[in-house]
Structure 1
Amino acid sequence: MNEEYIIHADACYRRAEQKAAGYFATLYRQVMEKTYVPVLTQDFEWWKRDHIRSQSWLSIVARGKRQSDAGEYHRYIQWLKHTGKLDDYLDRSVSYIYMRDLGKAIDSPEAQAKMKRAAADVKHRLLLPAATNREERPAFVSFAGLYRWAQKEGIETAAIWVIDKLKSVAAHIPEEMNAEDAQRKLIKIIVGVVMHAIEEMGNEPSPEERAWRLDEAIRLGYSYGLTYPFIDDLLDAQVLTAQEKTHYSDMIRTALLTGSVPELGEWSGARKAMILYVHAELREAFEYMKSRQRPETQHLFFEQAYVFFHSQELDRAKELTHATYTNEELYVPIILKSASSRLIARSILRVPLDEGFEARTFFYGIFNQLADDFADMFDDRRDGAVTPYTYYLTYRDQRPDLINPFELYWTVIAHLIHDVYRSDAKAREVILARAINGLKRCKTRIGTEKYNRIMESFASENPAFNRLVQHMVEKAEDVEFFDKLLRDQLVAILKRDRDEKEEFAATVKTVRRQINDTLQIAKPDGVPAMKESLIDAANYSLEGNGKRLRPIVTWVMGVQEYGLRAESILPLLRSLEYMHTASLIFDDLPSQDNASIRRGRPTLHRVHNSATAELTGLLLIQKAIQEQASLDRFDAKTVLALMKYSAEMAENVCVGQAMDLSSKGKALTLEQLNTICFYKTGIVFEAALVMPAILAQVNEKEIEVLKTFAYHAGIAFQIKDDLLDLEGDARLLGKPVGKDAENNNSTFVTILGQEGANKRMWEHYYTAMEALQEMPRRTVFLRHLLDYMVNRNR
């Protein structure tokens, strides 16, 4: 046990509970007296002047157009610009973020100046030419956009680190959980912590200090955000057994109370691999957050974290069949967990205490929690989860003492506008717009009939006020928010990426099997014994556990992108693999790389001898030429053009190998290594892309884009190979590791170092990804192929 970090659980939670109970008592009195009704009625009378306009035929057409386009990110932004609504939209959105995420009072000149600058910066990014192209993925929620921003800030290492982490988390989220929502919340927390860090920097920090703070904020944001998918969501989901949940919760509680993460202990069953990963990742995150705390803030951080966790546990333990929960039991844990989650996001950065921030954040939290619970009401009810809404719907007829959560929601809104934000006009504008927007989104999602039934359940006691609210829901305009647009886009992108990745894996598996089935070279009757032995040697090399990336890429581009018939390009697929396998045989010879293992098996010259290996390589090259010459379903001139291009590429590969051999044991420059890599790796990858394009008679401009993509993708692939030689697993690679260092070869790692090589790999990755934007086709496969190239373990 780490005595330095021990906190007193009961005492710290009791203090927090008393504060939350006091806040709830204030809200309870206002609900009982219905003070929110006249206050908000007057607020809405002022608010609707800017949000409800006369219903001319032109405004009806415009509103319909907006609703149909709102789901399409770039078209919607362009519509806002065209109608002159973009500035108000961004002002409203940035103001909300300053209130909700940064805990700011927005009535000071300093805050207003910062919000104006932030809105102008967002507008500039939204209207950049690169942000308005045909790509549906906004730069705000793309890894490419993150990396380019990190380059400008000098924090590429942190960006690479967090991108790797996010991909790893995505791969380990169980199917029973909502993967997209879990990832979205994690990303949101990272962004929130980075925003806090930027806000706390003040004016004009040095580039070095800014980079250091942003690097730390990214890592802290990830470390804290990880608790959402792997603590909150995991304990909510039906993934672990009741006994496993208890064991898991006890471990988390012990870590928060003692400052030390306990060992996992015995864990069996189908979830063992997942839990081992989660435990290791959370331990690393916990230790990092702890290491960044100052001695004077450590206890506060752990106390806040414990209050957050314990309030969640109390809330999670409730059962919908239990009919006697008090209002305090229902709402106090919600107040605590909603406020604590935002307080922690700031406290992990060790910023000075700010009484105004603490108060605003504490009072604000339940507003968002009640809005979220309203949106999730039907899912929660289906799952038997206890929230203020599901509990009220279940017991409202039996329990007249229960507070109506919808009334409490409007009470909180009135309290925020007039008691927390001192009747500030901008605060009123933003909070009411947010509330109406939430109801509009709910109505759209569940349908008018179901929405009206729900309103009858929650708003029947105040019919006049409800009619006013529903009038706003029906008629009010300009209540949309940028963060909601990003949320919808991010969830859609994450879901689409998951589906595309599954489709990518299935395509690779299917096409690889088809290619493997057609690679074997037949031995005709009466073939001479010597030729038979060469064919056997060739088939031995072809049978290895090859990735078949090149012919797979050719198949996808030819069949899926260019519409060529699969059977018509089979000869081309075979020719590519024959030529590639021949090059590997030559590479492995004692006179060249002298490799002993290839594709998980002894190399051909070890099984036979060097002469047999050389002749087999020549045989495969001739078979490749024969295959290309048998492309008889295409125009003869087109086939000749393809064969000419193929011969040139083979010639360049020979040049690249000669360069590589002559460089053995020599110190190379980065430019020299790039050249060798292009001739050895990039050229072959280019051929896999360009050859089906030649058969499809694609225009030269598109072929040039393919070549640019292939150049950068090929170098990224080679850098990953160099990194795997340093840090890979020989069992997965199918060949020994450490050969480059053993042979004193220059590689991207030896020239740039491990971190530098990693940066350069991602630079080429993103440059290749950007090249895809110039393609007139979606080329989803190539995007996921790039992901595979830089994330593979073999």
Structure 2
Amino acid sequence: MHRMNVVFTEHADTWYREAEQKAAQYFALLYDQVITKTYVPTLTEDIQLWKRDHISHHSLLSLFSRGKRQPDSTDYHRYIQWLNYTGKLDGYLDRSVSYMYMRDLGKALDSSDTQIRIQRVVADVKKHLIRSTRTNEGDQPDYISLAGVYRWAQKEGVENATIWVINKLKQVSAHLPKEMNAEHAQRKLIKIIIGVILHVVEEMDANISPAERALRLDEAIRLGYSYGLTYPFIDDLLDSGVLHPAEKEQYSRMIETAILTGTVPEIGEWDGDNKEFIHYVHSELREAFEYIKSYQPPDKLHTFFEQSYVFFHSQDIDRVKDLSNASYTNEELYIPIILKSSSSRLIVRSVMSAPEDESFEQRTFFYGIYNQLADDFADMFDDMRDGAVTPYTYYLKYRGQRSDLINPFELYWAVISHLIHTVYHSNAKTREVVLDRAINGLKRCKQRLGIEKYNEIMEIFASGNPEFNRLIQRMVKKADDVDFFDKLLRDQVVSVLRNNRKEKETFADTVKTVRHQINLQLQIPKYNGIAPIRESLIDAANYSLEGDGKRLRPILTWVMAVNEYGLHPTAIVPLLRSVEYMHTASLIFDDLPSQDNASTRRGRPTLHQVHNSATAELTGLYLIQKAIEEQSSLNEFDATTVLALIKYSSQKAGDMCMGQEMDLHSRGKTLTLEQLNTICFYKTGIAFEASLVMPAILAKVHETEIASLKKFAYHAGIAFQIMDDLLDLEGDHLVLGKPIGQDVENNNSTFVSILGHEGARKEMWEHYCLAMEALQEIPRNIVFLKHLLNYIVNRDR
């Protein structure tokens, strides 16, 4: 390893100098086009050709179609339906997929093989979109939902990698400090993972076996996450204000050392508020780095480190620029972004150990700055606010003082001209896609900034070519059919992640608030003159009720009754008590020496440990009777409805006893999965079902909706039990509030003992998906239940 360290360190300057020389040559070519304005007549002719297909000419068909107005693209399902209705979906997907092949896969569009592949992808995506919009109207796209992603994983045989990456993304989001944008980080990671998967799929032979395909996709998911992690944990972290200057310097040197030596150094001393976060980041990056490195064949390792160093060093040079420095040259502004924008994409193929492809590398090198300049244009006001140096922020600040500065907006169009005519050899399809993208970017900018601000910006950046700018602005104003599916996906992902965060916060707040209200209502009062023997029984019941219970069941009942069915909170208090009394009674019986023989429950000694088994049994019976008493006091509902509820509740209590009896008789026996599911439903699922169905009975909900609620409860209950089994194996007893390893000690058949650790997780996610699909059948959007399911499969207690 020491020898390798020396080689990499000695070559670092050479790596960067050679890349810098190539970037300088490219910049000189672009600079010449900007100075001589040679790109203007060329692109003017291109746009004149291009606009024939993008300026609307009213026809009978278009007049007929006006009855169905174009919806906003944020209304995802209606927008896709509108594209299909108007016959625009094929073109929309064709340019979108073509762009992805150019940008992400480095392909040339003049290849017949590439065109065949593009059309195949377009057909597959179209079929999926049409089916999805018919079955999930009004909901988020299924491929953005966890259930949709897991269903894809099952189809491809990559469930383990998908479960792994879902957990990793959750951890990244949870660890990011508030100064960093969690949605932005997750979106980038997801985008890079998808990009690596696309690369891997594109490299696969059509005759590849399902097993080999699954193996490569599994690796792609893990590689995509491992490489993508560099964006939030290196690029974004160093750009943010989380680390102070000394920390940034220490962290940058650590990253550079890892690239030059092939080994992530120990973190060393790290003081301050960021210590815990940095230790997590260091651990994750080291794991990711080792995974990528282990995947590289020995003969490819050098290329990986070379491209990584060029990427990181160009970022580092760009990052330390100071906007108050008025003396940066054009070369200092542009060469690092040429290098970082191209090397970031070249690394993807290096990470995958894909076969060398000189034409790919050439196209990718020239293409990178096109995206970078477009992104910098879109972000210029945020960058200006943060004091970041980009070609746009620097030009905005110093254009009046520095006549030598290149206008980045002009350079952007010079890049486009160079791509169309030099890199892609004047290919008509390339011209179509690249100009679509450029005009779409300006349209989105205009919409985001507003007309006045947009025109102000154009006055600054486009004043050097007034006639050419007028042509561009006419296209921005009038051209149709220039939007892209990846932008729609980006907006959808950001929206879904943002909404999920807000909904999760609301879910947590609701749980906390309602749990507190329920806790205030649970204690059984002791009236004056009460018999001492009864007083001791009430004390025993209250002891069990005081524990640190999650109160999931009564919380669920409250949410359904109040938020979904509009019942008055005070009217259902007796129902809430009854649900928790019944649940607590079941726990008292479960913990008895004759059953599970548990020593702690809810973080405290179990009731039979504090008193004795007889007292615990009597207390359980007492709580069951109190539950029935509470239900019979639902005075604000008609008697027939209350009787129906009591009858249902009594039946479910009996079913739970049957479930516990089945569980006891199964001790020491090897159960089938079907038997375990049955026991699990009777022990756990029924309690979830009752929490949902009892408020539905009071609200006189239609039977079809109750049937869907029961289906949801069945699968949610089994998912809950599987997670319990997993926590019994790997949980923290201090967090759980009860001992771990009880199932093994009691010789119980569990989902883990039957299916194994990985198999149990797959089974849990299968029931998660089935529960989510049951929610789709309910004619109301019950957000709380969605997040309850997410809590069930992600909880640590």
Q: TM-score, normalised by structure 2?
A: 0.98
Query: Is 1:268 paired with 2:271?
Result: yes
How far, CA to CA, are the matches of 1:126 and 1:61 in structure 2?
24
Query: Is 1:722 paired with 2:740?
Result: no
Question: Is the 8 Å Cα contact of residues 588 and 595 (structure 1) preserved in structure 2?
Answer: yes
Question: Is the 8 Å Cα contact of residues 2 and 259 (structure 1) preserved in structure 2?
Answer: no
Deviations 1:239-261 (A, max 9, x none): 11111111111111111111111
Choose which of 350, 353, 361 in structure 1 pairs with 2:353. Answer: 350
Choose which of 336, 339, 346 in structure 2 pairs with 1:336. Answer: 339
Query: Is 1:464 paired with 2:467?
Result: yes
The farther-off stretch of 277-286 and 602-611 is: 277-286
**Aligned equivalent of 1:387:** 390
Query: Is 1:69 paired with 2:91?
Result: no
Deviations 1:551-603 (A, max 9, x none): 00000011101111111101100001001001100111111111101111100
Query: Is 1:567 paired with 2:570?
Result: yes
Matched letter for residue 717 of structure 1: F
Query: Is 1:592 paired with 2:595?
Result: yes
Deviations 1:324-358 (A, max 9, x none): 00001000000011001111111111011100100
Q: What does residue range 359-398 of structure 1 map to in structure 2 within 5 Å?
A: 359-398=362-401
Deviations 1:634-688 (A, max 9, x none): 1111110000000000000000000000111111111110100000000011000
Q: What does residue range 630-709 of structure 1 map to in structure 2 within 5 Å?
A: 630-709=633-712
Instruction: Using the TM superposition, give the Cα deviation of residue 728 of structure 1 relative to its aligned residue in structure 2, in angstroms.
Output: 0.5
How far, CA to CA, are the matches of 1:258 and 1:420 in structure 2?
36
Query: Is 1:32 paired with 2:42?
Result: no
Gaps (5+ residues) in structure 2? none
The farther-off stretch of 378-387 and 42-51 is: 378-387
How far, CA to CA, are the matches of 1:202 and 1:433 in structure 2?
31
Matched letter for residue 556 of structure 1: V
Question: Is the 8 Å Cα contact of residues 170 and 183 (structure 1) preserved in structure 2?
Answer: yes
Distance 1:785 1:360, change over 3 A: same
The farther-off stretch of 687-696 and 274-283 is: 274-283
How far, CA to CA, are the matches of 1:770 and 1:386 in structure 2?
48
Matched letter for residue 222 of structure 2: R
How far, CA to CA, are the matches of 1:685 and 1:135 in structure 2?
27
How far, CA to CA, are the matches of 2:655 and 2:71 in structure 1?
52
How far, CA to CA, are the matches of 2:188 and 2:728 in structure 1?
36
**Aligned equivalent of 1:41:** 44
Query: Is 1:759 paired with 2:762?
Result: yes
Matched letter for residue 357 of structure 2: D
Matched letter for residue 322 of structure 2: E
Query: Is 1:402 paired with 2:405?
Result: yes
| Length, aligned pairs only | 794
Root-mean-square deviation (Å): 1.4
Q: What does residue range 1-16 of structure 1 map to in structure 2 within 5 Å?
A: 2-4=2-4, 6-7=7-8, 8-16=11-19
Question: Is the 8 Å Cα contact of residues 575 and 625 (structure 1) preserved in structure 2?
Answer: yes
Instruction: Using the TM superposition, give the Cα deviation of residue 220 of structure 1 relative to its aligned residue in structure 2, in angstroms.
Output: 0.1
How far, CA to CA, are the matches of 1:283 and 1:344 in structure 2?
18
Instruction: Using the TM superposition, give the Cα deviation of residue 171 of structure 1 relative to its aligned residue in structure 2, in angstroms.
Output: 1.2
Distance 1:638 1:326, change over 3 A: same
Choose which of 78, 83, 88 in structure 2 pairs with 1:80. Answer: 83
Matched letter for residue 621 of structure 2: L
The farther-off stretch of 737-746 and 288-297 is: 737-746
**Aligned equivalent of 2:219:** 216
Instruction: Using the TM superposition, give the Cα deviation of residue 165 of structure 1 relative to its aligned residue in structure 2, in angstroms.
Output: 1.0
Question: Is the 8 Å Cα contact of residues 126 and 132 (structure 1) preserved in structure 2?
Answer: no
Instruction: Using the TM superposition, give the Cα deviation of residue 136 of structure 1 relative to its aligned residue in structure 2, in angstroms.
Output: 2.7
Distance 1:239 1:64, change over 3 A: farther
Instruction: Using the TM superposition, give the Cα deviation of residue 131 of structure 1 relative to its aligned residue in structure 2, in angstroms.
Output: 5.5
Distance 1:252 1:772, change over 3 A: same
Question: Is the 8 Å Cα contact of residues 185 and 231 (structure 2) preserved in structure 1?
Answer: yes
Instruction: Using the TM superposition, give the Cα deviation of residue 520 of structure 1 relative to its aligned residue in structure 2, in angstroms.
Output: 0.5
How far, CA to CA, are the matches of 2:676 and 2:762 in structure 1?
16
Choose which of 257, 280, 303 in structure 1 pairs with 2:260. Answer: 257
Gaps (5+ residues) in structure 1? none
**Aligned equivalent of 2:186:** 183
Q: Secondary structure at the match of 2:143?
A: helix
Query: Is 1:536 paired with 2:539?
Result: yes
How far, CA to CA, are the matches of 1:492 and 1:360 in structure 2?
33
Deviations 1:617-642 (A, max 9, x none): 11111111110011000111111000
**Aligned equivalent of 1:558:** 561
Choose which of 517, 520, 542 in structure 2 pairs with 1:517. Answer: 520
Distance 1:584 1:212, change over 3 A: same
**Aligned equivalent of 1:422:** 425
**Aligned equivalent of 1:444:** 447
Deviating above 3 A after TM superposition, structure 1's stretches of 4 or more consecutive aligned residues are 1-6, 55-68, 129-132
Instruction: Using the TM superposition, give the Cα deviation of residue 56 of structure 1 relative to its aligned residue in structure 2, in angstroms.
Output: 7.2
How far, CA to CA, are the matches of 2:224 and 2:564 in structure 1?
40
Q: Secondary structure at the match of 2:128?
A: helix
Matched letter for residue 638 of structure 1: T
**Aligned equivalent of 1:605:** 608
How far, CA to CA, are the matches of 1:572 and 1:285 in structure 2?
50
How far, CA to CA, are the matches of 2:320 and 2:142 in structure 1?
40
Instruction: Using the TM superposition, give the Cα deviation of residue 142 of structure 1 relative to its aligned residue in structure 2, in angstroms.
Output: 2.0
Instruction: Using the TM superposition, give the Cα deviation of residue 733 of structure 1 relative to its aligned residue in structure 2, in angstroms.
Output: 0.5
Matched letter for residue 387 of structure 1: T
How far, CA to CA, are the matches of 2:187 and 2:424 in structure 1?
29
Matched letter for residue 362 of structure 1: F
Matched letter for residue 4 of structure 2: E
**Aligned equivalent of 2:142:** 139
Instruction: Using the TM superposition, give the Cα deviation of residue 183 of structure 1 relative to its aligned residue in structure 2, in angstroms.
Output: 1.0
Question: Is the 8 Å Cα contact of residues 712 and 768 (structure 1) preserved in structure 2?
Answer: yes
Instruction: Using the TM superposition, give the Cα deviation of residue 477 of structure 1 relative to its aligned residue in structure 2, in angstroms.
Output: 0.4
Matched letter for residue 49 of structure 2: W
Instruction: Using the TM superposition, give the Cα deviation of residue 202 of structure 1 relative to its aligned residue in structure 2, in angstroms.
Output: 2.1
Distance 1:792 1:371, change over 3 A: same
**Aligned equivalent of 1:289:** 292
The farther-off stretch of 265-274 and 325-334 is: 265-274
How far, CA to CA, are the matches of 1:539 and 1:53 in structure 2?
74
How far, CA to CA, are the matches of 1:659 and 1:129 in structure 2?
41
Distance 1:451 1:596, change over 3 A: same
Deviations 1:281-328 (A, max 9, x none): 111111100100000000100111111111111111011100000001
**Aligned equivalent of 2:170:** 167
Instruction: Using the TM superposition, give the Cα deviation of residue 788 of structure 1 relative to its aligned residue in structure 2, in angstroms.
Output: 0.5
How far, CA to CA, are the matches of 2:66 and 2:470 in structure 1?
22
**Aligned equivalent of 1:734:** 737
Instruction: Using the TM superposition, give the Cα deviation of residue 605 of structure 1 relative to its aligned residue in structure 2, in angstroms.
Output: 0.4
Instruction: Using the TM superposition, give the Cα deviation of residue 208 of structure 1 relative to its aligned residue in structure 2, in angstroms.
Output: 1.0
**Aligned equivalent of 1:793:** 796
How far, CA to CA, are the matches of 1:37 and 1:645 in structure 2?
78
Q: Secondary structure at the match of 1:591?
A: coil
Q: Secondary structure at the match of 1:722?
A: helix
Deviations 1:50-95 (A, max 9, x none): 0012367985996897654322111011001100111111111110
Q: TM-score, normalised by structure 1?
A: 0.98
Distance 1:159 1:752, change over 3 A: same
**Aligned equivalent of 2:494:** 491
